[in-house]
Structure 1
């Protein structure tokens, strides 16, 4: 029998691109409204402010620490075994927490180590002052990083460990040699990228799936990684369901993600959107609506290092076939 894990709250707050000045207030308000799942990362550069928001919410009595599910992620420059624990400790210090509910390997990309005192978070460039130098990789196998993640779990510093942005082949390799199974896979998921086989594989293996960018293109348009006409929210199948239910297209998309058995972590910097994104558990899409939305799949991946790393960081860095 596969091991059981604590259920992830189905709707979380994604903290990528949330401005530092807004992060503390946004997190505190989200927890007040009922969010119990916060999705953070070293690379987002706002964990100290997120920690302030968590602290404010706890101090106000909006919930207890044990009621929260807080995720963070190990950045690419900390994959070597000796760097994993210090990276976690830095995230915990910034978040002002004693433990994480989930720690994820952010990308299956090992980059050269950058000391905290040199730059934190380190980002993608090895040396931003020498942008022509691009990214610098490190020969660290994923298995080495995973063993260090297992040590964090054994020490009680993290309740669960997992991975992001990997496929079935890498998951199979981890499962074949691990002491602690990956509890969660976080991947880009929306109706233009349904990843049916990968989600099915995770279900069979007892690996929970969290969907980032569950609304598709909006977060990527300002970065030049998507165009406005790629919005799945304007698709007739989504609009028809929204009209029938009296919901917004965004709520329909989030419900589609939750109803297929994944957690979703939509990002917003607008307090008025927090309640809207959370209110997706009191209605159900029909089987026909679910099928029509799933049929929108076009394999469109917005967050692809094989594309953006070359354009932004002068380095070809494919991780998907």
Structure 2
């Protein structure tokens, strides 16, 4: 049975909360109150990154929530301009200081950076050192395709615990998830309710926004829920961890209200068939140093 306390077991035995708060594009001014609201609503995972520029405010929100540190799972990520062995270790020190934590639960490489993959490999080797030293409890990657996972495996020792990727009903990553299952990697969804489509005003297309999908609306009405609830529940029932983002306390509380109903197998398969094969966010091979300069 799925509950707010449901966890997924990582390949090193660590328990990853299945439901968390993402703080991508949350301004520093909004982040602390969003984190406090999420922890107050029962979230137990907070997902940030150095490039989000809000790690210190995540720490502030955790303090304000007055939830025991051991009960909160914290993820942060290494940005691609910080790749390289020594560079990654220094960047981790900076993230750790901003978060004010002795141990970070999960440390991830943000993108594969195929144009300079030797730097990716060096950064991963630094992450392996941090894991061996007990400064992190698990290490993972984001946005890696199978070929990137293959290249990592050729040169490194530790299999990533997770791969956090764009996933929603219009882009369900079935082939990648099968690869993850073979390798013992947990799939975690960013943009679990299709937010990437709404973040890219240069490609406005309401048909690409799952929140407006008629099929999801019909399933939502049958359960007296919203399309967002249906999508989040679909991920969870398919064994996918989610990190939906919001800064509004009422929306944060509403998003986690997905544990009092269940989708039928027919409904799950209907949602599976909404796949379009089209990303809304960037593809892994698009992310290079020019992209990084625009984002940092």
* 1:234 and 2:242 are equivalent in the alignment: no
CA distance in structure 2 between the aligned counterparts of 1:239 and 1:262, rounded to whole angstroms: 21
Give the secondary-structure state (helix, strand or coil) at the position aligned to 2:77.
strand
1:167 to 138, 141, 145: 145
Deviation, 1:161, is 0.4
Give the 5 Å matches for 1:12-51: 12-51=20-59
In structure 2, runs of 5+ residues without a counterpart are: 1-9
Deviation, 1:277, is 0.9
1:55 to 38, 63, 67: 63
Q: Which range moved further: 177-186 or 193-202?
A: 177-186
Large movers: runs of 4+ above 3 Å: 137-141, 217-223, 305-310, 312-315
Deviation, 1:138, is 5.4
Deviation, 1:106, is 0.2
1:184 to 151, 162, 173: 162
**Structure 1 or 2: larger strand share?**
2
Instruction: Give the alignment's TM-score, normalised by structure 1.
Output: 0.82
CA distance in structure 1 between the aligned counterparts of 2:181 and 2:287, rounded to whole angstroms: 31
2:250 aligned residue: 272
CA 1:161 to 1:220, structure 2 compared with 1: closer, same or farther past 3 Å?
same
> Over aligned residue pairs, what C-alpha RMSD do you find?
2.5
1:74 to 67, 71, 78: 78
Give the secondary-structure state (helix, strand or coil) at the position aligned to 2:16.
coil
CA distance in structure 1 between the aligned counterparts of 2:149 and 2:286, rounded to whole angstroms: 24
1:140 aligned residue: 118
1:286 aligned residue: 264
Give the 5 Å matches for 1:103-142: 103-109=107-113, 140-142=118-120
Deviation, 1:92, is 1.1
What CA deviation, in whole Å up to 9, does each residue of 1:136-169 have, x standing for no partner? x757343222111100101111100011111112
* 1:10 and 2:14 are equivalent in the alignment: no
CA distance in structure 1 between the aligned counterparts of 2:133 and 2:126, rounded to whole angstroms: 11
Number of residues paired by the alignment? Answer: 284
Give the 5 Å matches for 1:74-93: 74-93=78-97
Give the secondary-structure state (helix, strand or coil) at the position aligned to 2:43.
coil
